[in-house]
Amino acid sequence: MLNGILVLLLMALVMYLKVNFATIKGRVGEANVNRILERLIKDVYKIYHDVYVPNGEGGTTQVDHIVTSPYEIFVIETKHYKGWIFGKEKM
């Protein structure tokens, strides 16, 4: 009886991970970047996470990290992938 319950729980866990793997992996990547950004000097850099900005089409888009300083603004989109990632400055 106990073995059957454990097997069902294990199957449920595997199914959950299979369905949510990309989301979980993305959150892990963002958490890693958050930890790195938190090391920046607080008096110089201001850090914003999960910012929603207008997309110019009446909706919004989510940006993972924005870092501002007296010198410049950094917009960081985190991807937790291996290999090449291609993108454009303007869509």
Burial label, 10 (beta-carbon count in 10 A; 0-12, 13-18, 19+): exposed
Domain ranges of the chain: 2-76
3-class secondary-structure state, position 40: coil
- pTM listed for this prediction: 0.65
Residuewise pLDDT in 10s, the chain (91 residues): 778 888 888 888 888 888 888 778 878 888 889 899 989 888 899 999 999 999 888 999 999 999 999 989 999 988 777 788 777 777 5
